[in-house]
Structure 1
Amino acid sequence: MVTIYDIAKRANVSPMTVSRVINKSPLIKESTRLKVEEVIRELDYVPNKQARSLTSKETRLVALVIPDISNPFFTNIARGAEDKALQLGYHLILGNTDENPDKESQYIGMLMSAGVDGVLLVPSGEASASHVKKLVKRSIPFVYVDRIIPQVPADSISGDNLQTTRQLVQHLIALGHRKIAFINGPSSLSNVQERDQAFRETLQLAGIEPNPAYMVETHFKQDNFDEIIAKLVSLQQGERPTAILAANNFIGVNTLRALRTLQIRVPEEMAVTCFDDPDIIPDYNPFLTVAKQPAYDMGFLGMQLLIERIQSGAPASTRKIVLPSELIVRSSTGKPQE
């Protein structure tokens, strides 16, 4: 294996000079740098990352911790984050928590041990606060994606939960729906809270009082949608909702499956719309009306924010980027039956 001593001998310089060239020290003359770099290429030398980290205190490793790699929304975030990391000369470590705070804690501990330069994080819930505080204590930069932990401020990038929810509800109201159910995620999540707030406010502005019987909270990884939908459609005919808004693509697809099992026709008997596009599920796409969030851009720009923090630490104040969604109207929404 080629070492810096081999490089130094061939280039007729000291090993310290080779080390400084590798770590891009400004103290090296341009002619010396070019000579050493030429020898590095000739010998096909690959720097030892652990050795470099001892002198530069950088590993060029960054991490992305997401709650569900099987969800195409988070897969697209990962693609954007990886593309930006590689573009800026960093390598990405991916962690999948399954919305489990204990698993998330294990990942955070492992990443700190690995010496990552920074973490891009989709928190699993309020319990994430204790994990994130460990990053703060170790002075490891981190950026929130999609969700935040308000009590531990940091840079963040997310979709516009308030405006997107308004768009979806207004779309249903414009079609004539007044009995609209909302199947949302766990109330401990910041994006869920914003969507709940916007749902209620949009109905009230339209003169519709939110019905507690139509408001459902579920876990994103839970598999009880047959029960949830059966309960909604079992309401008396005059009280049954005519439309369902789902808080993410998996809830939307599982809602369609449950309605199919119950032989409820969509959209004739029940309109369905959701956040995010289930673009890898051909049976239901392009059937669902969706608000498509720019997941790739969230990962790409989130990684840019993170690496800016790693490299400069500035600015002192936290930055918040909110990206708009695209409403895509398909055949799962229509006018309610008379």
Structure 2
Amino acid sequence: MRVTIKDIAKLADVSVTTASMALNNKKGVNEETRLKVLNISKELDYHPNKNARSLKTYKTLTIGLIVPEITNPYFASIVECIRKEFENLGYTLLFGVSGDEIKNEQKYVFEFIERNVEGIIIVPTNAVIADLSHLYYLKRIKMPFIFLATKYEGIPANCVMTDLYNGSYLITKHLLENGHEKIFMITVDRRLLTSNMRLNGYMDAFRDMKKKYKDEWIYETLPDFEHGYEASQKIIQKKPDAIITINDILAFGVLKFLKDIKIKVPEEISVAGYDDIIFASISETPLTTVRQPIESICAKAVELILKEIRCEELTSEIYYFKPELKIRDSTRQ
């Protein structure tokens, strides 16, 4: 079995990033560590693929894609859309699931480098404080990469995403216009871009409607079904008129809890999600939500990464796509 850079890093008791920097004679590695990594690589007769061929001239027609998870249909849809786009262009897609952990994202980045991908599309994790050395390394070796759905602050790279602010504004304004006042929001850590943009939309809708919200109406948790259910147990004690969540999976957790305690939706409490995954329209109580234009976002992501591979797109911009409010039976009108 071929020795990989991960094997070298493990034996040297360093990160993959450090091992790679040592092997490529980069600054930032002390001499003792560098020699240790180099000696291990010689002992194992390690020959990295990226040194065997020039990534600029050798075309593998292979792209890497990293997503946080695939249990949420939103991310599964991204994978499928990206796969179809590249398949139609004759490319092979390699993809990894980070499990929403930065160490796994790093692992896949270096695996993709080992496999000579021509570019990488990254859907970031929900890490607030993270070791992003693998992304700086991609910059140093001039590996094309872009962000999809959100981005890491401070990393200069193109990003394609929905205007999360606008979607949150639309759903909050819709609820306020229909008589809801005590509107709670279940979100992730508000320091994250995906949370911050939605919260700004939520707060601005209150301001524009000349209404007031309370900070205690904002509940931070993890973005899955179980935490939606758990958050509802605490929020219900404060007698909300409505609950907005930052994805549909959280909203389904809310709906399940309300059903379990026999609270009628939307007669007693309105519930709204975000994403418009496939189950939103066919659930027992069809879910009011915000549709993200996944097909358009993915098509743009493919266009951008191919331009970067051809050195045609060297900017660092965020490309926003307009969301669409989908009003269904889970909100009172």
Of the structure 1 ranges 280-289 and 172-181, higher mean CA displacement relative to structure 2 is found in 280-289
- Residue in 2 that maps onto 1:143: 146
Q: Which of 209, 213, 228 matches 1:210?
A: 213
- Residue in 2 that maps onto 1:83: 84
Q: Is the contact made by 2:245 and 2:274 (CA closer than 8 Å) also made in structure 1?
A: yes
- Residue in 1 that maps onto 2:256: 257
Which one-letter code corresponds to 1:321 in the other structure?
Answer: Y
Q: Which of 318, 326, 329 matches 1:328?
A: 326
1:323 deviates by 0.8
The alignment's TM-score, normalised by the length of structure 1, stands at: 0.77
Q: Is the contact made by 2:167 and 2:290 (CA closer than 8 Å) also made in structure 1?
A: yes
Q: Is the contact made by 2:145 and 2:305 (CA closer than 8 Å) also made in structure 1?
A: yes
- Residue in 2 that maps onto 1:174: 177
Q: Percent identity?
A: 24
Change (3 A) 1:159 1:196: same
Equivalent position SS for 1:123:
coil
Give unmatched runs, 5+ long, in structure 1: 1-49
Q: Is the contact made by 1:83 and 1:300 (CA closer than 8 Å) also made in structure 2?
A: no
Equivalent position SS for 2:150:
coil
Q: Is the contact made by 2:228 and 2:252 (CA closer than 8 Å) also made in structure 1?
A: no
Say what the alpha-carbon RMSD is for the aligned residues: 2.1
Equivalent position SS for 1:167:
helix
1:199 deviates by 1.0
Equivalent position SS for 1:284:
coil
1:96 deviates by 0.9
Q: In 2, Cα distance between the equivalents of 1:286 and 1:154?
A: 40
Larger relative contact order (Cα-Cα within 8 Å, sequence gap ≥ 6): 1
Q: In 2, Cα distance between the equivalents of 1:106 and 1:221?
A: 24
- Residue in 1 that maps onto 2:116: 115
Which one-letter code corresponds to 1:102 in the other structure?
Answer: K
Query: Map of 1:155-304 to 2, 5 A cutoff?
Result: 155-221=158-224, 223-235=226-238, 240-280=239-279, 284=283, 287-304=286-303
Is 1:305 the counterpart of 2:290? The answer is no
- Per-residue CA deviation, residues 244-266 of structure 1 (Å, 9 max, x unaligned), is 11100111111111111122110
- Per-residue CA deviation, residues 240-285 of structure 1 (Å, 9 max, x unaligned), is 2100111001111111111111221100111001111231477626
Equivalent position SS for 2:319:
strand
The alignment's TM-score, normalised by the length of structure 2, stands at: 0.79
1:222 deviates by 6.9
Give unmatched runs, 5+ long, in structure 2: 1-48
Q: Is the contact made by 2:289 and 2:326 (CA closer than 8 Å) also made in structure 1?
A: yes
Q: In 1, Cα distance between the equivalents of 2:74 and 2:242?
A: 23
- Residue in 2 that maps onto 1:15: none
- Residue in 1 that maps onto 2:40: none
Equivalent position SS for 2:132:
helix
Q: Is the contact made by 2:225 and 2:249 (CA closer than 8 Å) also made in structure 1?
A: no
1:288 deviates by 0.3
Q: In 2, Cα distance between the equivalents of 1:111 and 1:263?
A: 49
Equivalent position SS for 1:166:
helix
Q: In 1, Cα distance between the equivalents of 2:260 and 2:318?
A: 42
1:157 deviates by 0.6
Which one-letter code corresponds to 2:328 in the other structure?
Answer: R
- Residue in 1 that maps onto 2:96: 95
Q: In 1, Cα distance between the equivalents of 2:228 and 2:199?
A: 19
Size of the aligned set, in residue pairs, is: 280
Change (3 A) 1:96 1:285: farther
